[in-house]
Amino acid sequence: MKSTILALLLSFVAILPAAASTTARLNRTWVETGVMKHDQEGLSLHVDFDLTDAKGRLVGVQAIFYSRPGGWALRDKNDKYRLSPSLNYVAAFDYFRPEERDMKVSDFELFIPVRELHLNNGHKYRIYAQLSLYSDPGKKGEFLAESDFLPITVDLTDPNHPKAIPDFSQVITVAEVDKAKKEGRQVGVTTRKNPKQDKKAKKEQARKMKASKWGSHGSKVEKDSIDRATFWQKEEIDSTALPKLYIE
């Protein structure tokens, strides 16, 4: 009798569905410039990805923009493209609820106007975008996947025509960023190339460069304020402090 009951219990347990955990894999990411939407010029981030065990869950795709890979996130100023009420980082994001258990998603697009990056006019910037996927935003949310850092060139030399232009520089991988941090290096830092100058011109340039530098909060490292994204502001955010998912 006991063996019969045990057999029935084992059979019942065997037919119970296992608790599934949603997984995702990014297959391809790319940047499209010169995109016009709502009478605004901007850029679109595209991603192809696979989802497993995602039916009925709220899946979010978000992009955060950085001064450099592993560096500071761009700050939002008007709440139009803001990561969340408590996190004022520039972000583009969208959500959907899969109707199938497993699915392939092709060309999921996130758009952001160039002006909403909140960079100063008069310069060209190279910034980086990182896409991430997560499910069920909130305290029980689940981080699914993240992309490498995608380079974007933003041309603000004409204040009346802000635009993003194709950037053919190298994508920086998450692994490269992690390795550089361990070695105390930076990756993806833009430096200016200057023409040859005489000694007097070089001395004057050095004086101006020294005057344009400021130290980051809590750090002895000086940052050049010229021609690098987000260095126009004195409040920096380290991307390592960013959460992996949208939490209120």
Identify which of 13-22, 50-59, 71-80 has the greatest average pLDDT: 50-59
> How far is C-alpha 210 from the geometric centre of its chain's CA atoms?
31
Mention every residue, 6+ apart, whose C-beta is less than 8 A from residue 116: 42, 76, 78, 80, 81, 90
* pLDDT surpasses 80 at 228: no
Q: Is the pLDDT of residue 61 over 50?
A: yes
Domains of the chain, each with CATH number or no CATH: 16-192+227-241 (2.70.50)
| Comparison of pLDDT for 1 and 188, the residue scoring more | 188
**DSSP string covering 145-165, please?**
EE--BEEEEEE-SSTTS-EEE
Model pLDDT, residue 109: 98
Q: Stretch 38-61: mean pLDDT, rounded?
A: 96
More confident residue, 57 or 192: 57
Query: pLDDT grade, residue 27 (50/70/90)?
Result: very high
pLDDT bin (cut points 50, 70, 90) of residue 194 is very low
- Taking all residues of the chain, what is their mean pLDDT, rounded to a whole number? 76
Mean local confidence (pLDDT), 156-163: 94
3-class DSSP assignment, residue 132 = strand
pLDDT for the residue 202:
54
Instruction: Supply the DSSP string of 58-117, one letter for each residue.
Output: -EEEEEEEESSTTSBBPBPSSSSSEEETTEEEEEEEEEE--SSSSEEEEEEEEEEEGGGG
Higher-confidence residue: 184 or 97? Answer: 97
Whether residue 240 has pLDDT greater than 50: no
pLDDT value at position 153? Answer: 94
Average pLDDT over residues 73-82: 93
| pLDDT, tens only, 80-92 | 999 888 888 999 9
198 confidence band (pLDDT: 50, 70, 90): low
pLDDT digits (tens, 9 = 90+) for 131-152: 999 998 766 778 999 999 999 9
**Considering the entire predicted model, what is its pTM?**
0.72
Spatial strand order in the sheet of 103-113: 23-37, 40-52, 103-113
Average pLDDT value for residue range 27-54? 97
More confident site: 70 or 228:
70
